[in-house]
Structure 1
């Protein structure tokens, strides 16, 4: 009975994806300059890259203000602050950015955060707050990168039920991890922490990510039937908060009219084969809340204190 209900639900999603227009209309294009191109980034050129992207954000703020978009202008202006550090910034459309917290050139533990749906430059604050909370938990040994490197789907849209955005994002994430490795080399332990739809991105990219740990949190599925099917040498972790609504999403996939919706096996299920850790009582947006069980365990994973990770 449960299987039939899941299939019916997924079939309804497929029909919606075929016959229902996207519920949220595309936002009018926000003018912004092309991204700065400071050249290949290495440990010795990080400061130059940071300065170039801040200057680009300042120009984007002026263009957004001239366009009459005060909200985006304020967001861009904040990113141009002298204390901000970006490995890339692109103010066009929904926006792209990769912000560094900590001393990337000297860190021996690096975490790259991959966000889920509805994350844009306009909603970036919550994503940034999570990255900052993790960086504070890591201390001087660590650096955290908030990677908004793809066009995330809207939660209320047809794209959130398919792998299309993840398929587009995966090669970009793979290229970005190669750039990070160029800065930190192989002396550093690199972890990728993937939230919600971001775990679909990570699942699509996993086989070519040069990372040590891969964590899927609040995941609707990683587009694979098992951790082994991700074809990664990284340790694969998974967690879900007790109050996370994602538990109610059918963890399966189905095809109809040539479209596949759903993302396969639940990563916290025994059959998936990930290392499942405790995430506490939090909800879908609470994994990086300071003082939470989930943040503590994520920090232990990044720091390599894996024997101290509390398992579910």
Structure 2
């Protein structure tokens, strides 16, 4: 019969082999996918609107300029025969939409505001994960709307809130080589920092600012975290951040983490290793005690359910945004 030490040694060797195999499969499987999508012609769109620096006085003017640009993009997409993109752009051009930024080229970028940003006392910036583009923006906006609705219902009387849906980077595909590495996140981080500075300039230092980062968006937030002027940083459905601990993010913000019991990301290997000349994987599980985040309850939802109306995760995210730290529930 094996001794305990022999069993433990065998288990470690088995775990190491499993991790290496999982990482190789993750990257190798993505490498052999057809590359035809990259060669497909992209729907034409105008260059982004040129606007004055955003201030409280110019905010409405900025929104109007980007709506007009989205309308132009919709017409160009329709002429190109891309009805799906034309419909997405046309929706963004609606008179009630508050676009802080819009770029209809390629997969597309958009930053949309819900609420009165210039006068909000509590602001949430949502950072999406993989497979989010103008073509799929509706589902991301639905999450922002659900959060905004919860915040307005839950906020004390007289408290103004706003949500910023930030699709400010080209997200990776869920099944791709890019989703297992930090390349897209490193490109996105300076843009997220710029957005936070812009929001701070509009709202002032007393506004409570939270970043809510979903899935691969948590890697983006981690890359932007150092020195970021935010009060709270919430990681939901995170595959890891690339940092071994919350302290390793080097942020003054309170770091929160949650994962629903039905989220498949639990089974992603929480390791980081060199493979094919790059670093694959994002290391420590953010909901593990070793990471050191403030773990909160997310219920039994799946990977796309963190902002589902009525969910435990949405209620807790709203409490974080409103600064109700002692009301956030744990599992």
TM over 0.5: yes
Structure 2 gaps of 5+ residues are 1-13, 153-158
Quote the residue 1:52 is aligned against: 65
Please tell me whether residue 249 in structure 1 is matched to residue 256 in structure 2.
no
Q: Is 111-120 or 1-10 further displaced after alignment?
A: 1-10
Q: Which of 122, 145, 161 is equivalent to 1:132?
A: 145
Q: Is 3-12 or 40-49 further displaced after alignment?
A: 3-12
Please tell me whether residue 20 in structure 1 is matched to residue 32 in structure 2.
yes
SS of 1:117's equivalent in the other structure is coil
Rg larger in 1 or in 2?
2
SS of 1:194's equivalent in the other structure is strand
Quote the residue 2:169 is aligned against: 150
Query: Which fold has the larger relative contact order, with Cα–Cα distance below 8 Å and residues 6 or more apart in sequence?
Result: 1
Which whole-Å deviations, capped at 9, do the CAs of 1:161-199 have from their partners, x for residues lacking one?
111111111111111111111111112110000000000
SS of 1:72's equivalent in the other structure is helix
Q: Distance in 2 between matches of 1:282 and 1:148?
A: 23
Question: What is the CA distance between 1:10 and its match in structure 2?
Answer: 1.2
Q: Distance in 2 between matches of 1:6 and 1:256?
A: 12
Whether the 8 Å CA contact 2:227–2:252 is kept in 1: the answer is no
SS of 2:212's equivalent in the other structure is strand
Q: TM-score, normalised by structure 1?
A: 0.97
Quote the residue 1:227 is aligned against: 246
Q: Distance in 1 between matches of 2:193 and 2:34?
A: 28
Quote the residue 1:261 is aligned against: 280
Q: Which of 197, 202, 208 is equivalent to 2:216?
A: 197
Quote the residue 2:96 is aligned against: 83
Q: Is 23-32 or 91-100 further displaced after alignment?
A: 23-32
Which whole-Å deviations, capped at 9, do the CAs of 1:42-84 have from their partners, x for residues lacking one?
1121101100000000000011111111110011001000000
Please tell me whether residue 170 in structure 1 is matched to residue 182 in structure 2.
no
Quote the residue 2:298 is aligned against: 279
Q: Distance in 2 between matches of 1:193 and 1:24?
A: 34
Q: Distance in 2 between matches of 1:281 and 1:95?
A: 32
Correspondence 1:47-126 to 2 at 5 A: 47-126=60-139
SS of 2:67's equivalent in the other structure is helix
Question: What is the CA distance between 1:141 and its match in structure 2?
Answer: 2.1
Quote the residue 1:38 is aligned against: 51
Q: Distance in 2 between matches of 1:68 and 1:15?
A: 35
Whether the 8 Å CA contact 1:23–1:156 is kept in 2: the answer is no
Q: Distance in 1 between matches of 2:165 and 2:124?
A: 9
Q: Is 262-271 or 134-143 further displaced after alignment?
A: 134-143
Report the aligned-residue RMSD: 1.3
Whether the 8 Å CA contact 1:153–1:165 is kept in 2: the answer is yes
Which whole-Å deviations, capped at 9, do the CAs of 1:10-65 have from their partners, x for residues lacking one?
13334456x53565622421111111121110112110110000000000001111
Question: What is the CA distance between 1:311 and its match in structure 2?
Answer: 1.5
Which whole-Å deviations, capped at 9, do the CAs of 1:91-125 have from their partners, x for residues lacking one?
00000000001111111000000000000000011
Question: What is the CA distance between 1:256 and its match in structure 2?
Answer: 2.2
Structure 1 gaps of 5+ residues are none
Q: Distance in 1 between matches of 2:36 and 2:295?
A: 35
